[in-house]
């Protein structure tokens, strides 16, 4: 039987794998109707100039920041690119744009989705509209949703195989570990129309600092 999640498994691959350039801790966020410069402007109230970089250059900047801060403040930088009607942001070695209060702030006046991988804590999925977290959950336990309308995404969640209600006698952690993150990215694709590939960030990225956010 064909693997319906095959296109979405690469972000869950081992970090040393050539299939996964993003690593074992990252956050990918999608913003509808904003261009990359508008997204970058929302990240740094001090107005630090943004720069154009390749993915490799961004990775180098993040590595230097992580080494200088002992890894406790995330990656310090994000890269943003445009895919269709959405600006897509990658935060390597970080999680700040996948925190509810931060995504709410970034989603003012737009629709936003964030998917986070964190092998040393929890993965995450958040959907926000105009400054409000609408639906959020840990992909392994999609029955435990929170937000202003936890059931808003019931139909697309059902279609990608994310459980909506607990089954009697079944643990709350209801999605197989290997499937949880791919299903979260499949859900993001249903909402945004953007199916990410390992090459999605290969072009020029608009890079902004999130060091101010990293103090949280």
pLDDT in tens, 65-80: 999 998 888 999 999 9
Half-sphere exposure of 182 (CA within 13 A, CB side): 17
Give residue-wise pLDDT tens across range 113-131: 999 999 999 999 999 999 9
What is the rounded average pLDDT for all residues in the chain?
91
Q: How far apart are CA 166 and CA 117, in angstroms?
A: 23
pLDDT confidence of residue 170: 53
User: Tokens 């990410």 appear where?
Assistant: 196
Give residue-wise pLDDT tens across range 122-171: 999 999 999 999 999 999 999 999 999 999 999 999 999 999 987 655 55
What are the φ/ψ torsions at residue 150 (nearest 5 degrees)?
-60, -20
Q: Which residues partner with 119 through β-bridges? A: none
Cα angle for residues 202, 208, 209 (degrees, 5° grid): 130
Q: How far apart are CA 105 and CA 42, in angstroms?
A: 8
3-state secondary structure (DSSP) of residue 177: helix
């Amino acid at each position: 039987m064909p693997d319906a999640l095959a296109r979405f498994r690469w972000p869950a691959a081992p970090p040393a794998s050539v299939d996964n350039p993003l690593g074992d801790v990252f956050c990918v966020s999608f913003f509808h109707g904003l261009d990359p410069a508008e997204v970058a402007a929302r990240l740094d109230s001090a107005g630090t100039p943004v720069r154009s970089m390749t993915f490799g250059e961004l990775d180098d900047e993040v590595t230097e920041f992580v080494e200088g801060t002992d890894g406790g403040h995330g990656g310090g930088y994000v890269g943003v690119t445009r895919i269709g009607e959405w600006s897509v942001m990658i935060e390597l070695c970080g999680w700040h744009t996948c925190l509810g209060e931060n995504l709410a702030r970034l989603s003012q006046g737009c629709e936003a989705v964030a998917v986070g991988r964190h092998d040393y804590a929890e993965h995450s999925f958040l959907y926000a509209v105009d400054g409000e977290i609408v639906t959020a959950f840990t992909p392994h336990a999609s029955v435990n949703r929170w937000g202003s309308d936890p059931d808003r995404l019931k139909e697309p969640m059902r279609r990608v195989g994310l459980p909506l209600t607990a089954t009697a006698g079944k643990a709350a952690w209801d999605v197989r570990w290997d499937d949880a993150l791919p299903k979260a990215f499949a859900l993001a694709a249903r909402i945004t129309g953007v199916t990410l590939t390992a090459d999605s960030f290969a072009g020029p990225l608009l890079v902004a600092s999130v060091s101010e956010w990293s103090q949280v």
